[in-house]
Structure 1
Amino acid sequence: MDNDIWQGRLDGEELLFHRVFQRVKNENDYDTIIDNDFVLHGFAVDEGVRRNKGRQGAKDAPNIIRKNMSNFPVILPSFSLLDFGNVTCDDGNLEDSQNQLAKNVSRVLLKGGKSLVLGGGHEVTYAHYLGVRTAFPEQKIGIINIDAHFDNRQPESNIGATSGTGFWQIAQEGDINSLHIGIQRNSNTLKLFDTAHQNGMKYILADELFFENLPSIYQRIDDLLDNVDIAYLTICMDVFSASIAPGVSASAYNGIFADATFMHFYKHILKNKKLLALDVAEVNPLFDIQDRTARLAACLMNEWFMI
């Protein structure tokens, strides 16, 4: 990983002055990971978006998100971030790239690290989940998907897996324990809602995300997390309004906002000790404005660093 990516304001070398870029180590040896290290991979891939007939460009997001993460102040003295670079897909073989990320994530988790992944398209979901499952095959894994879409399409035989098939793929491997927050009625066909119901995929509509409803939202999050061993959180940036996240593959005029309601339930998830893996997906720099979407994705990552 190019050291020029991790740069920020240097106020001093003492711990009290530190910003994230001062605590990042570019690594390639997984044996260096110790308990509670944050371990970062980029998933510089949007082959699944291409297959899904979406707007390509998300493969260029990981390094831009890194730049926007660099300058945040370090809050916790023990904070450590190891960066293992990017997984790419130069030959169109999405499945190989997903398997490579899964292998890397598995090694992170078995060393006691916390896995962070910067997408890339939302095909990262199946890869990241596969890494968690490989590390803990006997554990019950809960997935929270903050997204406007279910991403539970059945793959077409002549196309294969895409950015929209991840949860269908996961459901084929056994019982799925998932909660999808921010689902839009105008972004999912009745077939996708039916697939969700048939597979026991729980969801909270975008329309339900208002402050007075927080007790119910907390309860539904806790209902999932209390009944699993490990949690994985994935965020598709197209869940947000195009006014704050213009740089995505499928923008939404009526998306949600990173307001007080969102931050309350988002931090509630991050505080759960079962959470071991987090990713952001679908930042598309080609359509971003002043790095707004990349900056928001970086902020969401940074929230975990402060807990």
Structure 2
Amino acid sequence: MSTPDGWSGRIDLPDVPATRRWHQCVQALQPGSPPGVAVLGFACDEGVRRNHGRVGAAEGPLALRRMLSNLPKLDEALLYDAGTIACVDGDLEGAQARYAEVMAGLLDAGHLPVGLGGGHEIAYASYLGLVKHLGTRRPRVAIVNIDAHFDLRQQDRASSGTPFLQAIEHARSHGLTLDYLVWGISASANTRMLFDTADALGVHYVRDDRLNLLNLARHIVDLRMRLADVDVVYLTIDLDALPHAMAPGVSAPAARGVPLEVLEPLLDEIAATGKLKLLDVAELAPPLDRDQATARVAARLIHRVTAAAWQARGG
């Protein structure tokens, strides 16, 4: 088995399966491959640039592959690398369309896709891929966004600040029931207009200063009840929802953020539903990172969610 580009790392006992790491198991995706966890890169930060943010997220997919490489293989899921879609000459919309096409194919084949961003413009591409996969089916879909920002901006062109408004408008025009849930909203990072837009659209959101260990149990129950009413879940994690000390390598670091001891139980709850169809991680900007801290925590979250989601599938 040849290892796809970007994957390398430590080898302990090459003939002992219990010592294997991701880089020893990942395969280049081939047509007809049995279902597994499939990573798909989105090397794009054009949306961040259009949103007047700090660029660098186009380098995220490679950094994430490198950090995922050394993580232990804890489940029986096959691991695939489906390649990377790059944004060329600022053509964000073209990159999103190509990514959506590949994403739909992964879902059609029964894989659990993991998007490696890239700016948060990856979210609209992931949504379009899910819609293409669903075809004429009309399940109730929930987008769960871990984010300090609503990303509901009304702008002339698509950007990293518009994906969920685009998704909501698309869903409404195509008869798809879509719930948008955001956990980690920062009151100091969203204008009054964005809060008003969220309220008008019926968005459920929880602020970062309400997410702590004292009320974690209540939030888990709330999340469980909301996801009980949906059929399909798409999870997207914007790394700027994490505390700055933990995730400095993003366009807009958090002044407060949601700590891992609160975030991880919420992610566990999402994965345990068995309804998670796809996930992605956005906004890792390696040029802005410090000691690969942001890449490291992103890889940890991917590792945790994929293992739990695959187990919930019965894998």
Q: Same fold per TM (> 0.5)? A: yes
Paired position in structure 1 for 2:162: 165
Aligned-pair distance for 1:4?
A: 5.2
Q: Which residue of 2 aligns with 1:117?
A: 115
Deviations 1:191-246 (A, max 9, x none): 10111111111001101111121232112212331111110000001111111111
The alignment covers a number of residue pairs equal to: 299
- Cα displacement string for residues 75-119 of structure 1 (whole angstroms, at most 9, x for unaligned residues): 12x221110111001121111100111111111111111110000
Report 1:68-107 matches (<5 A).
68-76=67-75, 78-107=76-105
Q: 1:47-86 maps to which residues of 2 (within 5 A)? A: 47-76=46-75, 78-86=76-84
User: Is this contact kept in 1: 2:281–2:298, CA < 8 A?
Assistant: yes
Matches within 5 A, 1:1-307: 3=4, 5-12=6-13, 13-27=15-29, 29-32=30-33, 34-35=34-35, 37-76=36-75, 78-137=76-135, 138=137, 139-156=139-156, 160-173=157-170, 174=172, 175-258=177-260, 260-307=261-308
C-alpha separation between the residues in 2 aligned to 1:4 and 1:95? 26
Deviation, structure 1 residue 14: 2.2
SS in 1 for 2:243: coil
**TM-score of the two chains, using structure 2 as the length reference:** 0.91
Task: Specify every segment of 5 or more residues in structure 1 that has no aligned partner in the other structure, as ranges.
Answer: none
1:58 partner amino acid: A
Structure 1 residue 250: Cα displacement: 0.6
- Identity within the alignment, %: 38
The Cα of 1:65 is off from its aligned counterpart by 0.8
Is the CA contact (8 Å cut-off) linking 1:147 and 1:238 kept in structure 2?
A: yes
2:202 match: secondary structure = coil
Secondary structure in 2 matching 1:135: helix
| Structure 1 CA distance for aligned equivalents of residues 293 and 132 of structure 2 | 35
Where does structure 2 lack aligned partners over 5 or more consecutive residues?
Answer: 309-315
Q: What RMSD, in angstroms, separates the aligned Cα atoms of the two structures?
A: 1.5
Aligned residues of 1:179 and 1:221 also touching (Cα < 8 A): no
Deviation, 1:2, is 7.6
Q: Does the 8 A contact of 2:182 with 2:204 survive in 1?
A: yes
| Structure 1: distance between partners of 2:304 and 2:86 | 26
Counterparts of 2:202 and 2:4 in 1: how far apart (Å)? 45
Q: Please give the secondary structure, in 2, of the residue aligned with 1:204.
A: strand
Over 3 Å counting, the alpha-carbon distance change for 1:98 and 1:30 in structure 2 is farther
TM-score, reference length from structure 1: 0.94
Q: In structure 2, give the amino acid aligned to 1:75.
A: L
> Contact 2:46 / 2:159 at 8 angstroms: preserved in 1?
yes
SS at match of 2:234: strand
What is the distance in 2 between the residues matched to 1:145 and 1:224?
14
1:98 and 1:4, CA in 2 relative to 1: closer, same or farther beyond 3 A? closer
CA distance in 2, matches of 1:302, 1:82: 14
After superposition, give the CA deviation of every residue in 1:251-296 in whole Å (9 maximum; x if it has no partner).
12212221x2222112111222000111100011111001000111
The answer as to whether partners of 2:67 and 2:296 remain within 8 angstroms in 1 is yes
- Whether the 8 Å CA contact 1:142–1:230 is kept in 2: the answer is yes
Residues in 1 aligned to 2:241 and 2:165: alpha-carbon distance in whole angstroms: 19
Answer whether contact 2:4 2:81 (CA < 8 A) is retained. no
